[in-house]
Amino acid sequence: MVLFCWLAVCGSAAADEITDLLTGKVSESQPPIDRVISTGASAQQDRKIRQRLGEIFAELDTLKDVGIKVNGGVVTLTGEIGSAAVEERAIAFARQVEGVVEVKNQLTVSRDLATRLRNTWQKIVAFGESIAVSAPLLLFAIFIVVLFSWAGGWLSRRQSLYRRISPNLFIAHLLGQFTQMLFFLLGLVVALVLLDATALIGTILGAAGIIGLAVGFAVRDTVENYIASILLSLRNPFEVNDFVNIDGHEGNVVRLTSRATILLSPDGNHIRIPNAAVFKAVITNFTRHPERRFSFDVGVDTDQDLLVAQALALKTLSTITGVEADPKPMAIVEALGDSNVLLRIFAWVDQRKFSFAKVRSEAIRAVKTAFDDAGIVMPEPIYKLRFTDGLPTAAGSSANATLSETTHQAPEPVAPDRQNVAEVQDVSADRTIEEKVEEEEAMRGEENLLDASNPKEM
């Protein structure tokens, strides 16, 4: 129990010190450090101090009941007051009087409920009266803010004006938004000047800066995407319907919005990539240049004449519809394998006229057929089998599968259908995905920052 009381007393003392620190009170035990104490103090001077403080307190309703005693320049204030603010005010007045050495505070703050309610009501009434008196001025200030906001909104919708400054649609829209915000701030400043509250301008700007910093950290990714959208709209790395590869995502470009780039994959799926990732990504644009090169590998037997095989491959490619004569196709020896020699075939396709995938498929089929007709062997993989007790064990199930396949007779060849063959050999350009993109753009009509008039990145 003794320990508890000791803690309570120490805690109370610490609380008083904290209260003094927060309220700016100076402890009575601390002498003033910025004042020179005169040696000529007298009773007459004490009377002058008491008289002067009495005149001041008498003019103030909240301080007229405060008792004043002065002895040797030390002022003692007594009585009951309504609030701590009144207490601070009385002490401040006493310290400002010439000749006062120290102020002893013996005032007590009233805790009477009726008194507190009466004071609160008086403050509410006074506040209401001030509002009523200032109502016309306040309404006119609100009218100014609304008027400036309306003017800014009207100017922001005049996009033809901003398109003269910047042909970029996105930048023109940003200029309109900036104009609207500027007019709103101007109206707010004029209203504050009218209300004689210019001191609030600095406070509002400071608060706006802190809030902007906090919001910037909270929506960092959104801001990054928005800035990337501006940069991408200034110089477009692609156009609508360009076939691109962005960080492994392939598809036709549908649109560029203020937040993301939308692709339509060859499977018909929408791919949404944040613009910040697009701006930092390695972008492969397959459509920017119409000629595109394809390649495929062919393995031939090591006993074959490689020059004959290469010449036959080039001759075959020259007969395929869609393969460009300039640049010329190539057939090079890529590598020497364990049981074959690897040839790599290159050829070019004009994507505006022919399908890249179909021409490549037809080239592989034609080269394989030409090699078969010329007797150029494309060797199959060789498996080494080891027999134990008359049973093959090498390669496990693969060897068993090979043996089982040799026991079956080759199937009879099926005559190809002429219509299907014609469809397979048709290498005209496939516009299915491009048509879907055009249909979607016509149907949705959403924002698109890609403009044919914008500068293009080469």
Residues 146-163: tens digit of each pLDDT: 998 898 888 888 777 766
- Count of C-beta atoms within a 10 Å radius of residue 223: 14
Query: pLDDT tier at 271 (50, 70, 90 boundaries)?
Result: very high
Query: Residue 17: which pLDDT band, with cuts at 50, 70 and 90?
Result: very low
- Give the pLDDT score at 223: 75
Residue 251 confidence class, pLDDT cut points 50, 70, 90: very high
In contact, 19 and 59? CB cutoff 8 Å = no
Any bridge partners for residue 456, and if so which? 236
Predicted confidence (pLDDT) at residue 24 exceeds the cutoff of 50: no
pLDDT digits (tens, 9 = 90+) for 40-55: 667 888 888 888 888 8
Instruction: Encode pLDDT of 399-432 as tens digits.
Output: 444 444 444 555 665 555 555 566 666 667 767 7
| pLDDT at res. 415 | 56
For the cut 60, the answer to whether the pLDDT of residue 88 exceeds it is yes
Mean pLDDT, rounded, for 320-325: 90
Q: At what angle do helices 113-156 and 169-194 cross, to 10 degrees?
A: 140
**What's the maximum distance between 2 C-alpha atoms anywhere in the chain?**
138
- DSSP for 411-453 reads PPPPPPPHHHHHHHH--B---HHHHHHHHHHHHH-------TT
Average pLDDT, rounded, for the chain: 77
Token reading at 221: 């990714």
What pLDDT is attached to residue 448?
Answer: 73
Q: Hey, how many other C-beta atoms are within 10 angstroms of the C-beta on 59?
A: 9
pTM above 0.75, yes or no: no
Residues 280-297, mean pLDDT to the nearest whole number: 89
| Range with lowest mean pLDDT among 21-25, 152-156, 272-276, 290-294 | 21-25
Smallest CA-to-CA distance from 137 within 192, 204, 201, 198 is with: 192
The confidence band for 326, taking pLDDT boundaries of 50, 70 and 90, is confident
pLDDT at 40: 64
Q: Give yes or no for residue 297 having a pLDDT over 90.
A: yes
Q: Tens digit of pLDDT for each residue in 329-346? A: 999 999 887 778 999 999
Q: Quick one: which of 197, 313, 220, 326 has its CA closest to 274? A: 220
Out of 9-23, 192-206, 261-275, 434-448, which region has the weakest mean confidence (pLDDT)?
9-23
Q: Is residue 128's pLDDT more than 90?
A: no
Instruction: Please return the burial class of 346, using the count of CB atoms within 10 Å of its CB with bins 0-12, 13-18 and 19+.
Output: middle
10: pLDDT strictly greater than 50: no
Question: Around 46, how many Cα atoms within 13 Å sit in the side-chain half-sphere?
Answer: 14
188-195: Cβ within 8 A, 24+ apart: 188/145, 188/148, 190/144, 190/148, 191/141, 191/142, 191/144, 191/145, 192/141, 194/137, 194/140, 194/141, 194/144, 195/134, 195/137, 195/138, 195/141
Domain annotation for the chain: domains and CATH numbers: 40-110 (3.30.1340.30), 118-218 (no CATH), 291-382 (3.30.70.100)
Separation CA 345–CA 357 (nearest Å): 15
Rounded to whole angstroms, the Cα distance separating 363 from 417 reads 20
Closest C-alpha among 370, 327, 331 to residue 349: 327
Within 10 Å of residue 192's Cβ, how many Cβ atoms?
Answer: 18
Alpha carbon distance 295, 334 (integer Å): 12
The arrangement of strands across the sheet holding 102-109 comes to 67-71, 74-81, 102-109
Assigned token pair, 369: 């057929």
